[in-house]
A and B are shown apart, each in its own frame.
Chain A
């Protein structure tokens, strides 16, 4: 296995032992990115100068006998709605890339990863203003699924999924409002963590729907996912919704297995509305975990509807000035959705927020009798780029909104989710959501690790 494709722990071991210089390693990483990126269109900025300067600094500290961080020499890249000092934070848009002032400093999560000696190598393609599920972008072109280049990565963190799946970086950061980490992780066959709302700082990221937005990692293995997540934890006074919880490390808990965990499979909304192999994937995970219990999340479809209303209204409110001044500079599909959101009556939003409170109370009740809920991540495998509709159970529906059918009812109340990749029938990957109560990311990661060790789900370093 090349250094570029090594697990995070191997990279760190090589850097700490001095078997490889960090500068040489990062040079190889950058060369690989430049060789691969033209095929998958994951990166929008490659940060050679910055990355090599940080690598040289790590080499100097190593030579001076100083201790290196937990992610020494590990390259990472971030969705281009996350601030990087000196760059205009594009958020997938033409407007920001031309008019937004360059960021004065790095986002909190970038700073925390670099404080652990990880190395930022670039920023990543995404759907414009995160208002998509496909990974397509009218300005910068679609990110392409490394497993089938004419297929979608999923979005909106499409570049984040493609960069990891293509072996360009072992970890990336994405954001998830209605499914934007979980959908690309699924379509690209890798692991994703959507943390509890408020768990990880969002400071220095361009918002979409503030009451739903979270940032989180995408990785090739559960170990890598947990290592990355652990160093990013901790409250941040600069993000008003950041939690005040202590850091709760998960990496050391991954080998605890699943014995004693109460796990159920979601049915009802989550056992309809999908292609048959999607449910096969969930069944395979349930079988591996010896799960027989089923549970219904009440009113999940209505929760999805409420999430759509809130997303449309909050998202549009953020863009009113830009829509007035330069509607033509948006991706037309995004623009039309934002304009529709701008027309949303306040009463719809308030009712949706009221329903949100009710729904949260109902779902949290479920977690008194279960620890983990399994559900599909997407209704289908990665569609072809440009595909507009989806045929599900004999009905033809618009593709874009349908991709969030299983993710929206979960993020609507801020629950943490780990998505695991499932490969069946030799086709493109599928994904399963491992859903837990708020702040119990540790349980989701434990279950994911168990499934990975059992061979039920396979990332790209398994």
Chain B
């Protein structure tokens, strides 16, 4: 299961990326349903790609605590 995103191609599979990131939290794919996690993570990657490909000015302040 390899992946090429608009952020650039990479040689790591989604599975490797997710496993490495989870390990940083003391978690692993084996703690859940591997296919389910990877499906969700792939969907998140697709969602993130939609956001990242959008051209935003550097000056736009992120909204970590949103105020309406």
A contact set with B: CB distance below 8 Å: 196-198, 211-212, 241, 299, 301-302, 304-306, 308-309, 312, 320, 323-324, 327, 332-333, 335-337, 339-345, 347-348, 350-358, 360, 401, 413-415, 438-439
Contacts and interface: CB of A to CB of B under 8 A. Distances in A.
- The secondary structure that dominates the B interface is helix
B68 interface: yes
Contacts of A320: 25-27
Given A356-B66, A358-B56, A312 B51 contact: no
Contacts of B48: 305, 309, 344-345, 348, 351-352
5 contacts: A337-B36, A337-B40, A340-B43, A344-B44, A413-B66
Contacts of B17: 343
Contacts, number: 139
Contacts of B27: 320, 323-324, 327, 339, 342
Interface residues of B, number: 36
A132 to B, nearest CB: 13
A343 to B, nearest CB: 4
A343 B52 CA distance: 17
Nearest to A338: B32
Contacts of B33: 332, 335-336
A355 B32 CA distance: 31
Interface string B20-49: 011001110101110011111101101110
Closest 9 pairs (CB-CB, A-B): A340-B40, A336-B36, A353-B62, A305-B47, A343-B21, A414-B68, A438-B68, A348-B48, A340-B41
Given A324-B25, A357-B60, A439-B68, A343 B41 contact: yes
B1 interface: no
B19 to A, nearest CB: 8
